[in-house]
Amino acid sequence: MTLTLILLNMLVFFALLAFLYVLKRKGVSFSIRVLLALTLGVILGFILQFIYSADSAILKTSTDWFQLIGGSYIRLLQMIAVPLIFISILSAFTKLTLTKNIGKISVLVIGLLVGTTAIAAIIGIASAAGFGLEAIQIDQGEAETERAASLEDTYGTVENVSFPQHLLSLVPANPFLDMTGARPTSVIAVVIFTVFLGIAYLGIREKHPGQASLFASLIEALYAIIMKVVSLILQLTPYGVFAVMAKTVALTNLDAIVTLGNFVVASYAALGAVFLVHLLLFAFFGLNPMIYVKKAIPVLVFAFTTRTSAGALPMNIRTQQQLGVQDGTANFAGSFGLSIGQNGCAGVYPAMLAIMIAPTVGINPLTPSFILTVVAITAISSFGVAGVGGGATFAAILVLSALNLPIGLAGILISIEPLIDMGRTAVNVSGSITAGVLTSKITGELDRSVYCDKTRVVETNS
């Protein structure tokens, strides 16, 4: 009977995948198929949990098969992320689109990422205070206790790490190791290494044009191949989103969501406010925010469902390009956004936790001095936050340790962590794209005709 039910679940799952494929064959747009995949995944997940309950062995086995599709898609995106960064930035040098404003672009991108993270921290503080959230309101069960112990172990690895040491970790010592993604700051290290190669190419181009021409031809060929790989992977997006969402919803602890509903609402209120800030920034710089929303929907939906900023990088860069951002700036913003100034994970979340946890040690979290300290520490600690699962927890550990608050309490929301993390990741990606577009606007390199072309969205052609 158990095997029969599992097979039945799989039959429904693959039938819906086939339906999405039929829509593609009929020419339904990429954006609509992604949104439909999200909806179908949510519906299937809720139905399966209603039938079996979240802790059912049948559901666990079925979702393991779902993960084969969804997990494979995420891994493919992660697979291409570092090669895409490496070859795209080098290509920008060989095409002479990153020769004049490298320093200015880097400073603007990082400044916008950290600045919006500081704003996100203020919004997180306001949301936690406005909803009256406190850590003592949450009953800590077995899962929370285990999480606290785990975080205490993690805390020991970052307890004595200063801000200069955080900055030092961004500098590559072994670029080949960083290309494997071995460190939380590997992506930024790859960017730095690639920039050095690009600058070296410019030097060789002046003295040895023949060698430089050969190198440029090689980079151009590799760029074409990598972009084709990206295109092939992006075609799988609707199927990956559907599979990931079906598993996520099916295994979500609905009882915890009901119990901690106030915390979920407060988190999404804060994240929504940060996204509104992004839109206001577009308007302030004379750009239609609704055009941005339309073009960013596919990548934001993907980030929401998969909870990985790193996996969303190829779509992030493609989206910026469709918004009129040049390749080099798009790669800088997308790459830096993986480890610096993540508005959701490194801004809203740590600030909310700090306000919630402070009363447990007798600190008034609403004093101006404490609020300013939280905002400053949150912005500074946003350097080096990994763009993969666990980044928000790592950021929270850094902020809470700097404030001398109990680290173990960072695990109090573990029961609803996946649900909140979905929104955080989408806001992270939105912040990264915002930084890229506004940097291009400030430097005068934004192609407004491309930005305003409403037909230019992330699509696949085959």
User: Which tokens is 165 given?
Assistant: 């040491």
In tens, the pLDDT along 362-380 reads 888 889 999 999 999 888 8
Q: How confident is the model at residue 237 (pLDDT cuts 50, 70, 90)?
A: confident
Does 242 score more than 80 pLDDT? yes
Q: Is 383 helix (H, G, I), strand (E, B) or coil?
A: strand
Please count the other Cβ atoms lying within 10 Å of the Cβ belonging to residue 199.
14
What is the chain's mean pLDDT, rounded? 83
Q: How confident is the model at residue 174 (pLDDT cuts 50, 70, 90)?
A: confident
For 109-123, 172-186, 320-334, 442-456, which range has the lowest pLDDT when averaged over its residues? 172-186
- Does residue 83 lie within any of the structural domains? no
What is the average per-residue pLDDT within 113-139? 87
- Does residue 375 lie within any of the structural domains? yes
Instruction: Tell me what pLDDT residue 125 has.
Output: 94
Percent of the chain with pLDDT over 90: 29
Map tokens 């109990």 to a residue.
406
Contact yes or no for 237/34 (Cβ under 8 A):
yes
Q: At what angle do helices 186-207 and 57-94 cross, to 10 degrees?
A: 20
- Does residue 387 lie within any of the structural domains? yes
- Does residue 323 lie within any of the structural domains? yes
Please count the other Cβ atoms lying within 10 Å of the Cβ belonging to residue 400.
24
Q: What is the CATH number of the domain that holds 353?
A: 1.10.3860.10
Instruction: With CA atoms as reference, report the closest residue to 253 among 55, 432, 19, 430.
Output: 55
Does 424 score more than 70 pLDDT? yes
In tens, the pLDDT along 175-203 reads 888 888 777 677 778 888 988 998 898 88
| 96: CB partners within 8 A, 6+ apart | none
Using CA atoms, how far apart are residues 321 and 22, in angstroms rounded to an integer? 29
Using CA atoms, how far apart are residues 99 and 95, in angstroms rounded to an integer? 9
- Does residue 125 lie within any of the structural domains? yes
Q: How confident is the model at residue 462 (pLDDT cuts 50, 70, 90)?
A: very low
- Does residue 295 lie within any of the structural domains? yes
Using CA atoms, how far apart are residues 17 and 66, in angstroms rounded to an integer? 11
Domain with 293, as residue range(s), is 99-237+251-452
User: Which tokens is 242 given?
Assistant: 């559907």
What is the average per-residue pLDDT within 104-130? 92
In tens, the pLDDT along 82-109 reads 888 888 888 878 876 666 677 888 889 9
Instruction: Tell me what pLDDT residue 286 has.
Output: 93
Instruction: Tell me what pLDDT residue 138 has.
Output: 64
Does 135 score more than 50 pLDDT? yes
| 409: CB partners within 8 A, 6+ apart | 135, 148, 353, 356, 357, 360, 400
Contact yes or no for 346/128 (Cβ under 8 A):
no
Using CA atoms, how far apart are residues 89 and 98, in angstroms rounded to an integer? 8
Q: How confident is the model at residue 446 (pLDDT cuts 50, 70, 90)?
A: very high
- Does residue 42 lie within any of the structural domains? no
pTM (predicted TM-score): 0.81
Query: Which of the pair, 281 or 182, is modelled with greater confidence?
Result: 281
Q: How confident is the model at residue 149 (pLDDT cuts 50, 70, 90)?
A: low
In tens, the pLDDT along 26-70 reads 988 887 888 899 899 989 988 988 888 767 888 888 888 898 998
Does 131 score more than 60 pLDDT? yes
For 169-173, 226-230, 308-312, 384-388, which range has the lowest pLDDT when averaged over its residues? 384-388
- Does residue 57 lie within any of the structural domains? no
Percent of the chain with pLDDT over 70: 86
Count up the domains in the chain and report the number: 1
Q: Which long-range contacts (CB under 8 A, 24 or more apart) does 404-407 make?
A: 405/354, 405/357, 405/358, 405/360, 405/361, 405/363, 406/357, 406/360, 406/361, 407/151, 407/152, 407/155
Instruction: Write the single-letter amino acid at 437.
Output: V
